[in-house]
Amino acid sequence: MVQRGKNAETKHVICTVCDNYCPLKANVVGGVLQGLEPYEDPKAICFKAHSWKEHINHPDRILHPMKNVGTRGAQRWVPISWDQALDEIAARLRQIIGTYGPESVAVSSLMGNVSGDQGMIRRFMNLIGSPNFISGLHMCEGNTLQVHRATFGTSIAEDLSSANCILLVGHNPHRGNWAGQAAQLDAALARGAKLIVLDPRKSENAWRADIHLPLRYGTDTAMLLGFLRVIVEEELYDKEFVARYTYGFPQLRERLQEYSLEKVAAITGCDAQQIAAAARLFATAGPSVIPWGPILDMQVNSTSGIRCEDLLVSICGFVGKCEQLQSPEPALVNVSQLELHEMLSQEQKEKQLGADRYPLLSYRGYEPLRAAVKRVYGIEWLDLEASFMANPAAVFRAMRTDQPYPVRALLNLGSNALMGYVNQQGILEGLMRQELIVVFDHWLTPTAQLADYVLPADYFLERPALMNQDGAGGAMVQQQVLQPRGECRSLYALLKGLADRMGLQSYFPWPDDEALLDYRVSRGGKRWKDVEGAMFLGDAAQVNPLETGFATPTGKIELYSTVLEQLGCDPLPYYKEAAQTPRNAPALAEQYPLTVFVGLRDKANYLTNLLQIKSLRRIDPCPEAYLHPNDAARSGVEDGRWVWLETTHGRMVLRVKCDAVQPEGTVRVPHGWWIPEWKPGWENGLSGAMYFNDALILPDEDWNADAEQGVPNLRGGLLAKVYPVTPEEPLWEKLQNL
């Protein structure tokens, strides 16, 4: 129960324990935080947010800088001061840059964990001269935003409150995940909005959908091409909008001739008439909206699938209605301007790893848009949340092979890099060859166990911030509620400390986070103290591309993408069958009879985080493989049995959960599991990361990647088998205690 009284005050916070960024009220009485609660709908908060006190006060939280004085992974940690840590890290960075060049330094970051970095990570990287920034966002939202940009010149954001029809593409917001959006969905359905769900499983939202299409894993793009075919063929599109605002409709119409309803039904396994009915409902019940979700972000057809979503809302005329175009807030100093991309030379930009093979997410992919963005928004470089990124697989390959050049230092800023990308075995090999690994985090993660230095990070309640989730639009306000525990510091304090020691102090003139925020709001003649009581900053008039023209080469919404065409990619969406499916590899499917789906998030953790929190761990105590009972019987395993799940790339350990909702012939694999209570180090497989994490079974090879962005396929394109862990194996006894 939250106490209230004359000493009570409310502060605005943005919960960043997952990627929904829910705005919450922090209720403070007498300077003591009493609890967090949502602003309107009491359901718009999940148990992860309610675990804040356990997180902040957890006995395993890192509170002081540490240095490993043994070999890599030896766990010979000694406490050191921040000054010693920064002095030594800066000296080693200078040495590595002097020997191998600035491109030999890479950064891995996860935005939620370092929320509100205000562009300082990329600023630091650009000033030292390295283009090799990577993030888990390359396969989760970041890649979506680059596809939006190729279509619209900017990002779009859904508005469920004005939608009459909602299409969920594998997305399933509920109280455990995306609680804020789940509450918005509830409100929309309560006022009569229609719901269409594409999901192989009968999810919570599929049960209440007007139309549920239980498609085959990995065929979402084919389904959406079928929607487009029906809408165009039956002339359900907005002809006036298409004629006025779009480019390439005739070419799109011709491409859609390849995707008849019968063909789409055969690919997806759904009824042709149901597909047509869903397409008609989307087009005619509008305005309709497609909320972002990570399902299409992680498929071999990722770019084409996201393009299909963009094209659906475009030809139906919903852009500018419930799909809002985002633009930089003119009253704020934009994050992109703070990042100083102009300071990174063209020569260094051209060294960005992976850009030659997978251009769209890279600096190379931005070049066709650069002039148009400046024309419309007045900003030459517009970062839409992790734009201009190196390809992670290429970065880790360079660590292993020194090709095309060495990468010798990795800064992990709120990132568990060992576990956060695919091909964990290859990542480990690359990390073991590093001359410097720095981790900034709350926990001694498996990546931190391999580090030279581990630095204590603040928690979202312990820092002020402005939050731009997609790099455009206004900004959500995050007030500081608590003082950081121990010697925990903000990311800005870390980066400024390094910059000051590397001759870059003039580029980091702000003494602390609040001074940096003063600068960001100064265009409006304000200071941070003047605006921190607001929930959102975004009142100034923003650019409307429907009036000014779009920030694309043609000035229109590009149904036919001249951007992709200039990059040597297919300018129109397409569907291709993933390499490892029973249809494409029937002989392999006899040996590996299960199709892998990595996803369907656990309710009580996020990525590789929160497994330490006891109240949450009770909800999801161990990593589970969901198997249909018939598949379990065929594999000779039963509910609750620990098994090896093996692909052609590697194997991992999971506990079987027999689930009649899981489609036969498939297996659900969770992401990001390790066992924090297991002692760190090699003896326990880096606290279980080398046994339980999905990246052990996922390859980073080209055949398993999206052609335009190099996004790895996690959704229905890998074959697997399961078999029991036996009592004779060394791991058996440990598993019995989980």
CATH T-level assignment (fold) for domain 156-325+545-566: Dimethylsulfoxide Reductase; domain 2 (3.40.228)
User: Mean per-residue pLDDT for 119-140?
Assistant: 96
Residue 370: its pLDDT value, please? 96
Residues that are catalytic = 19
Q: Tell me: the pLDDT tens digits for 331-350? A: 889 899 999 999 999 999 99
651-658 vs 642-646, strand pairing mode: antiparallel
Q: Tell me: the pLDDT tens digits for 294-315? A: 899 999 999 999 999 999 999 9
651 pLDDT exceeds 60?
yes
**CB contact at 8 A, 83 and 648:** no
Rounded Cα–Cα distance for residues 160 and 470 (Å):
17
Count of CA atoms in the C-beta half-sphere (13 A) of 693 = 31
Residue type, 140: C
66-68 vs 453-456, strand pairing mode: antiparallel
Instruction: Name the residue among 536, 617, 482, 458 with its Cα closest to residue 34.
Output: 482
Name the CATH code of domain 66-137+328-537 (choices 3.40.50.720, 3.40.50.740, 3.40.50.300, 3.40.50.970): 3.40.50.740
Instruction: Name the residue among 224, 231, 193 with its Cα closest to residue 316.
Output: 231
4 pLDDT exceeds 60?
no
Phi, psi at residue 716, to the nearest 5°?
90, 20
Rounded Cα–Cα distance for residues 479 and 461 (Å):
8
In which band, very low, low, confident or very high, does the pLDDT at 1 lie, cut at 50, 70 and 90?
A: very low
Averaged pLDDT score across all residues of the chain: 94
How far does CA 555 lie from the centroid of its chain?
29
User: Mean per-residue pLDDT for 314-325?
Assistant: 92
In which band, very low, low, confident or very high, does the pLDDT at 540 lie, cut at 50, 70 and 90?
A: low
User: Mean per-residue pLDDT for 132-136?
Assistant: 96
Does this model's pTM top 0.95? My answer is: yes
Portion of the chain with pLDDT greater than 70, in percent: 97
In which band, very low, low, confident or very high, does the pLDDT at 113 lie, cut at 50, 70 and 90?
A: low
Domain range summary for the chain, segments of one domain joined by +: 8-56, 66-137+328-537, 156-325+545-566, 586-736
CATH T-level assignment (fold) for domain 586-736: Barwin-like endoglucanases (2.40.40)
* 174 vs 5: which has the higher pLDDT: 174
Rounded Cα–Cα distance for residues 202 and 218 (Å):
16
Residue 42: its pLDDT value, please? 78
Enclosing H/E stretch for 502: none
Residue 539: its pLDDT value, please? 62
Any idea which of 185-199, 301-315, 460-474 has the lowest mean pLDDT? 460-474
